Amino acid sequence: MESSFDTQLANNYTSQSQKIRVMTEVWVESFIFCPGCGDQIYNYTNNKPVADFYCKKCSEDFELKSKKGKIGKTVPAGAYSKMIERINSKTKPNFFFMGYSESLSVNDFFVVPKHFFISEIIEKRNPLKKTARRAGWVGSNILFSKIPKAGQIFYVEDGREIDKKEVLDKWQKTVFLKKVTKADAKGWILDIMNCIDAINKKEFILADVYEFESELQKIHPENKHIKDKIRQQLQFLRDRNYLTFTGNGTYQLS
């Protein structure tokens, strides 16, 4: 995989944003495969409003968001109302995220599967001031802190290319989330996955997850049986082979 952009592609453009757009999109189409099946992906030539790329084999759509420098804790995501509408739409795409250097080469590139996108990961920004050209416009941010590590699948991390099989395996590990259609149910699953990430151990015990009881209570104030819900979600993740239960209240990440 070549990490640098083909800068000659930008010669026909005057706008810096147009230059970056064409260079990043050509790079993706040249080097990135579909994480669902491993086949080539293609650019939508007609500027489809809901996506930038598609896979002919498995019909997955992908939208690309890129920025100079490291991908931080948040990424701008356009108008808040439109983003929430897309999140709740059946046609929402998967998202590619790219961080590129000053020298126009890719430092980080990863995909977030669409089944990880719920309204809670979209932050509403303050309206633009009256003096702004688009006064009153309300933008949004994508909050990576609310997306479990399993939902951030790297192709390139800190300049290092990730093995294709690892990318495909990580995608398949969470496809079970596609079948979880109720927002509240999916929210709980993602919350518990985030708790497991925060424990930061390959093996952990039930008591480790109970440590997040008060935090989960704040997120779900209507629920008066947080520990019961924790056990329920751990069982769900175990039954989907995301976790392995080894006995005596001990779990391992599969």
Q: What is the pLDDT of residues 61-104, one digit of tens each?
A: 999 999 999 888 888 888 999 989 888 888 889 999 999 999 99
Last residue of a domain, one of 149, 177, 205: 177
Tokens of 146: 């609310």
pLDDT tens digits, residue range 196-206?
999 999 999 99
- Using the predicted structure, report yes or no on whether residue 50 has a pLDDT greater than 90: no
Last residue of a domain, one of 152, 177, 202: 177
Sequence-ordered list of residues with C-beta below 8 angstroms from that of 152, at least 6 positions apart, any chain: 110, 112, 144
What pLDDT shows up at residue 53? Answer: 94
Point out the least confidently predicted range of 126-135, 149-158, 216-225: 126-135
What pLDDT shows up at residue 46? Answer: 67
- Same domain, yes or no: 154 and 40: yes
- Same domain, yes or no: 136 and 202: no
- Same domain, yes or no: 190 and 137: no
- Same domain, yes or no: 98 and 192: no
Q: What's the CA gap between 79 and 139, in Å, rounded?
A: 4
CB 34 within 8 A of CB 55: yes
**The dihedral of CA 12, 78, 104, 34: what is its sign?**
negative
- Same domain, yes or no: 168 and 248: no
pLDDT tens digits, residue range 132-170?
888 999 999 999 989 999 999 999 999 999 999 999 999
- Using the predicted structure, report yes or no on whether residue 13 has a pLDDT greater than 90: no
- Same domain, yes or no: 4 and 91: yes
Total domain count, the chain: 2
- Same domain, yes or no: 21 and 125: yes
- Same domain, yes or no: 19 and 61: yes
Q: Where are the alpha helices (DSSP H) in the chain?
A: 16-31, 80-87, 164-173, 183-199, 206-210, 213-219, 226-239
CB 61 within 8 A of CB 86: no
- Same domain, yes or no: 31 and 69: yes
Residue ranges making up the domain that contains 198? 180-254
Q: Mean pLDDT score of the chain, rounded to an integer?
A: 93
* Token pair 């992906």 in the structure block, residue: 41
Q: Is the pTM of this model over 0.85?
A: yes
- Same domain, yes or no: 88 and 8: yes
The torsion of the CA quartet 57, 63, 69, 72, rounded to 10 degrees, works out to -110
- Same domain, yes or no: 188 and 170: no
